[in-house]
Amino acid sequence: MSERIDTLMPGRVVIQNPAFFCFGIDAVLLAHYPELRKTDNVIDLGCGCGVISLIMSAAAERPGFEKVRFTGLELQPELAEMAKRSVLRNGLAEKISIVQGDLRNCTELFQPASFTLVTCNPPYTPAGSGIVNPSDSVGIARHEICAALEDVIGAASRLLKNNGRFAMVHRPGRLAEITEKLLKWHLAPKRLRMVHPYADKNANLVLIEAVKCGRPSLKVEPPLIVYEEPGRYTGDILKIYGMLPDQTISCPEKK
């Protein structure tokens, strides 16, 4: 399969290759979940094609956000190279850096406690569970083959300054484990939002934000509903995508 160029929003495109893992709505929701601050230094762990940094960087084009910088860390060389070309194609080389490397060795690549915001759309399925995709790249993206949940959370904690934030999207079925690991690594859950495909269906995603060395105080936000009916997004999702109600958008592949 060959590469393609997808439009993210006005002024943003991303290079993808279906032979590797293509981003889904979970990445888009995560990119819009944390509130960007004027002094943020952001890193996205397991950045893939770089979609989260590309989307978030649009919010840094506002006056006063000139100092905000983004880094994407990606294990797979082919995806890291693709992300670098997406950054160049968008003219964002001064704003976004892509680093090829293993998040488990993050403190060999970056100064500890040097970021104020860490994001991650990690593999959802524990190693040894489910059917592993025959494509190694997709298998790594979906299954904890190269990075377990604790590896991700531990890396976030090591890279964050005190009071820095960690934002992640995951499956609700692992929320108890997520909470346990966050607290173990001194990350206090502060915000949580369940994502439901339809109003009458169980949540299939959870967005969570934690603060390093923060005080325990969790805010459970109103649920986010994706579809009003098959093929029709809710107003909340249209707002996230920056679309008008009469516009349509194809749904990207989900994990």
**What pLDDT does 137 receive?**
52
Instruction: Supply 239's token pair.
Output: 């707002």
The top-scoring range by mean pLDDT among 11-15, 93-97, 129-133 is: 93-97
Cα 126 to Cα 30, 135, 137, 179, 209, distances in angstroms: 21, 17, 16, 16, 21
Q: What angle do CA 39, 41, 47 make, to 5 degrees?
A: 145
Interacting residues of 189 by C-beta distance below 8 A, sequence separation 6+: 179, 182, 183, 208, 209, 210, 218
Q: Span 134-152, mean pLDDT? A: 63
For 108-117, letters b (16+ CB in 10 Å) and e give eebeeeebbb
- The pLDDT confidence band at residue 36, using thresholds 50, 70 and 90, is very high
Q: Span 216-230, mean pLDDT? A: 96
Alpha-helical runs (H) found in 168-234: 175-184
- The pLDDT confidence band at residue 241, using thresholds 50, 70 and 90, is confident
**What pLDDT does 129 receive?**
54
* 140, 158 contact by CB (below 8 A): no
Which percentage of the chain shows pLDDT scores above 90? Answer: 78
Coil, helix or strand for 189?
strand
- The pLDDT confidence band at residue 10, using thresholds 50, 70 and 90, is confident
Which percentage of the chain shows pLDDT scores above 70? Answer: 86
Each residue of 48-86: pLDDT tens digit?
A: 999 999 999 999 999 999 999 999 999 999 999 999 999
Interacting residues of 230 by C-beta distance below 8 A, sequence separation 6+: none
pLDDT of 152 over the 90 cut: yes
Query: Nearest Cα to 38, choosing from 66, 72, 16, 19?
Result: 66
Tell me the pTM.
0.89
pLDDT of 138 over the 80 cut: no
| CA–CA separation, 113 and 162 (whole Å) | 7
pLDDT of 143 over the 50 cut: no
| CA–CA separation, 159 and 147 (whole Å) | 16
- The pLDDT confidence band at residue 147, using thresholds 50, 70 and 90, is confident
**CB neighbours of residue 77 within 10 Å:** 10
**What pLDDT does 242 receive?**
80
- The pLDDT confidence band at residue 252, using thresholds 50, 70 and 90, is very low
What letter would DSSP give residue 106? Answer: H
Interacting residues of 223 by C-beta distance below 8 A, sequence separation 6+: 193, 194, 195, 196, 203
Domains for the chain: give ranges and CATH numbers. 4-241 (3.40.50.150)
